Structure 1
Amino acid sequence: MFSIFDLSLQLNGFPIKKAKSDLDKIIALSIEEKRQFIENQKQNIVEFHLENNLFYQNLVGSKNYKNWEELPVLNKTNLQIQLESRLSKGFSTKNCYVNKTSGSSGEPFIFAKDKYCHALTWASNMYRFGQFGIDLNRSLQARFYGIPLDFFGYQKERIKDYLAHRYRFPIFDLSDEILEKMLQKFQSKKFEYLNGYTSSIVLFAKFLRKRNLILKEICPTLKVCMITSEMLFEDDKILLETQFGIPIINEYGASELDLIAFENPNKELLINSETLFVEILDENNNPVPNGTEGKIVITSLFNKAHPFIRYDIGDIGILDEKSTLDKPILKKLIGRTNDVAILPSGKKSPGLTFYYVTKSIIEDDGNVKEFVIKQLEIDQFEIEYVSETELDLAQIQKIEESISLYLEPHLHFNFIRKNSLERTSRGKLKQFTSLL
């Protein structure tokens, strides 16, 4: 029997019933069967895209390949061309799930998943959350995320929240007055779990610490907190456990892929090997031994609409020494940190807010290749960007309107076009940095 969230997915063309059934079969495989499944699926998805995807054929250089290691590593720059030119035969923006990456790496692009692949993403979420007693069809979520502020975008997200049993706390303003209102919601609603951006949830925990409050005592129905999108440092995890009084679960995902890794009840950051294949490679794209850091390169095993094969996500990580093909464990994730912007009004906004600010410059023509934002003074910001053509006055005005809407008015932004952007020693862009 369908519940409302499952039913809404099914009605929108996402075959969640089949996806759940198929995922259950993959989870039930023996170790040897699982290894064989991964190898078969890798081969199937490459052969499919070499046969049906001109973009991927051109990238590989032919319709044939000898071995996996010879396949090119796909990077975000490769994907900054029009989406239509990257889709496989038989797929269009009309029959796929289409979205934009957050651009948290500073390299935004639009992507697509076929509807079965996207249903598998939701089946994967449901399975992993279910390990902690959370039912996405019934459990009420306290959601610490951004939300579009234009009328239609806002209403669409609120409808999705209703169907998915979520109450959203927009995280653009995390001043004490707003955090106090959030706290009142925890007194009146039977939340079962928190989910959202690390920095926002940490700010809420610091607010509770100032008031010497434990969230579980205020909202006894709470079971668990899942944090995502930004790194969770050990001292912050201790703070969250202390102030919330519930387990804190680390999640690592990417909208264009799936949940990449999810902390299991044994406190291991277990990589999703049901729908993804994850490699850790050195700078020459050779695999590194377990226990050695390298770039995280991911293959989506089921996405037929769009190739994500040996895709360099832009993060650095280390596989645990005891990792195996059927049970890979992420020992450490390096990168993905975000600062918090403090604004003249006293308002605090997490760095991921800038995704919503810069969304207006992420156009499908791929003009803006990369961008970083720096806070120089309390009201002075700098946007450095790499693009084929310079942003015109109309585009800049659009961005400034977006800044006033999502942050606050009277902030000053200087736009600087560059040939290349400064990267960390690990080759990673940090989208937002506060120099205060």
Structure 2
Amino acid sequence: MFQTYEKRREYQMDQLQRMISYAYAHTRYYRNLLDERGISPKSIQDFSDIKKIPILTKDIVQNHLAEMVSDAIPRQQLQYVTTGGSTGKPLGLYITATVERKRLAFTWLNWSLMGYRMGDACAVLRGTVVKDGFWSYDRGENYLILSTYDLRETNISEYLARIKDFSPKFLRAYPSVLDILARYIQKHGKMLSCLSSVKGIATSSEVLTPEQKVWLEDIFQIPIFDQYGNCEQVGFLGMCPHGHYYEAMEHSYLEYLTENGNDAVGGEVGEIIGTSFINDAVPFIRYKTGDEVLLSRHPLQCDCGIHTRSIQRIEGRMGESLQTHYGNLISITALNSHSDIFDHTARIQYYQDTPGIVVLKIVRRPEYTDQDTEKIYAELNQKFKQQVDLRIEFVEEIPLTSRGKYKYLDQRLKW
């Protein structure tokens, strides 16, 4: 299934050269950037040469998106999407249907390692809004979609019963939602039988710590396969059957940089700086993701046959939640999952110190209007389903943490 590490590195070098040449030929932003720096695409002959190109930040993309769009892609093929804003700054960009198909291919490849085949029955507990009731059925995908917004202590048994009736082979969920299910099953052991058909659990979008993975697998008695990705398509980390993270080297080229800008080595934490091979609509070269990983001290040479640089754990994107009037938790990841309602905001931060009451702090961009406020209230209140009172507060700035980062959720409650 996987080629040798050396062959995959050769492919990466070919793709780096292709993407940089493509970006130079088809985008004003990269043409101007490389000309100003005196960099010729042909001068990129080694992996170290890519460091000649400055790092791309969210601010740059936000301010220069129009110049970054490829003129080789017909406008009618462009699809506008937004990131989940896990760093407190949602970002808009363009992809195409081809990009989405490639993304799904890497996801399905990772799921195949737990035995998944297209069409297998799957129960999904992620960020989808279910309008009527707490579940719906996607016949095309053979997915049972379960609302995470309605999940609470008093109805978890109904969720588990519905899963049992559906008899899925696999489960997809945020780690924070799995925590809720696991704690309930700990109290009511007999409910574990509701998951007897499930052969594997796929997680993503939030950090799954090694300790959390061990605990959840012990409760569910089901193997968990995690993955890391992002809307910008500048990095993909999968998990092999032995629980090791691996790089999808055909998806992107990844650098891991320490706080002082040096390449992280084994045992060090580094921020993911990614160059996408699959998004030709808006090339992302050396993009600063804001997500961090702890590198393993040894390369991955697993019995499963995957040989890549090895990631010991993903440090960023901790799963965080808001507490409703009823005491149940709503994943912050699900709340702001790829919506355009924050396009005219510079920064956002959720703040909570009282159950059922949430303050959304917004730093407005110049183009922000009252219509944006109405859209935000409408979409978030639809997701909250009268379980949370939402209040919007406009601020001039949102202070950085001691590590110089934006905190997406300032949660003062303990549970």
TM-score by length of 2: 0.86
CA 32–400 in structure 1, closer or farther in 2 if over 3 Å, else same: closer
Which of residues 45, 56, 73 is equivalent to 1:74?
56
Give the 3-state SS of the residue equivalent to 1:315 in structure 2.
strand
Q: What's 1:319 paired with?
A: 295
User: Do the aligned residues in 1 keep the contact of 2:200 with 2:222 (CA within 8 Å)?
Assistant: yes
Task: Report matched runs for 1:124-139 at 5 Å.
Answer: 124-135=106-117, 137-139=118-120
Contact kept, 8 Å, 1:226 with 1:249, in 2: the verdict is yes
Partner of 1:224: 200
Residue of structure 2 equivalent to 1:402: 379
> Within the alignment, does 1:120 sit opposite 2:94 as a pair?
no
What is the CA distance between 1:57 and its match in structure 2?
2.4
**What is the Cα deviation at residue 223 of structure 1?**
0.6
Change (3 A) 1:327 1:120: same
Does residue 40 of structure 1 match 2:22? no
Establish whether residue 186 from structure 1 lines up as the match of residue 163 from structure 2.
yes
Aligned residues between the structures: 398
Aligned amino acid, residue 226 of structure 2: N
8 Å CA contact 2:363, 2:396 repeated in 1: yes
Residues 187-218 of structure 1: per-residue CA shift (max 9 Å, x gap)? 21121111121111211111111212363x33
Instruction: Name 2:46's counterpart in structure 1.
Output: none
**How much has 1:382 moved relative to structure 2?**
2.5
C-alpha contact (below 8 Å) 1:273/1:326 kept by paired residues: no
Letter in 1 for 2:379: S
Cα shift at 1:142? 0.9
Residue 202, structure 1, aligned to residue 183, structure 2: no
Question: Contact 2:270 / 2:292 at 8 angstroms: preserved in 1?
Answer: yes
Report the 3-state secondary structure (helix = DSSP H, G, I; strand = E; otherwise coil) of the residue aligned with 2:186: helix
> Does 2:339 align with 1:362?
no
Pair 1:288 & 2:277 matched:
no
Q: Is the 8 A contact 2:83 2:91 kept in 1?
A: yes
Say which of 363, 372, 376 aligns to 1:386: 363
What letter matches 1:348 in structure 2? L
Q: 2:325 aligns to what?
A: 344
Corresponding position of 1:413: 391
Q: Deviations over 1:43-87 (max 9, x none)?
A: 111111011111222344446254211111111111214754431
Residue of structure 2 equivalent to 1:146: 127
User: Helix, strand or coil: the match of 1:242?
Assistant: helix
Seen in structure 2, the aligned counterparts of structure 1 residues 158 and 104 have a Cα distance that, compared at 3 Å, is: farther
Q: Which runs of 5+ in 1 are unaligned?
A: 1-23
Q: Answer yes or no: is 1:310 the counterpart of 2:291.
A: no
Residue 158 to residue 173, structure 1, CA distance change in 2 (3 Å)? closer
Q: Indicate conservation of the 8 Å contact 1:353/1:406, yes or no.
A: no
Residue 166 in 1 paired to residue 147 in 2? no
Look up the equivalent residue of 2:28 and give its one-letter code. L
Secondary structure at 2:73's aligned position in 1? Answer: coil
- Alignment correspondent of 1:101: 83
Separation in 2 of the partners of 1:288 and 1:219? 40
Given that 2:235 and 2:251 are in contact with CA atoms closer than 8 Å, whether structure 1 keeps it comes out as no
Q: In the alignment, what sits opposite 1:91?
A: 73
Specify every segment of 5 or more residues in structure 2 that has no aligned partner in the other structure, as ranges. Answer: 44-48, 301-305
| Aligned counterpart, 1:244 | 220
Instruction: Specify whether residues 408 and 125 from structure 1 end up closer, same or farther in structure 2 by C-alpha distance, changes over 3 A only.
Output: closer
SS at match of 2:271: strand
Residue among 165, 177, 196 paired with 2:154: 177
Corresponding residue number in structure 2 for 1:3: none
For residues 423 and 256 of structure 1, what CA distance do their matches in structure 2 show?
A: 24
Structure 1 segments of 4+ aligned residues over 6 angstroms from their partners:
none
Give the 3 Å change call, closer, same or farther, for CA 97–129 of structure 1 in structure 2: farther
Q: Does the Cα contact within 8 Å between 2:201 and 2:225 map onto a contact in 1? A: yes
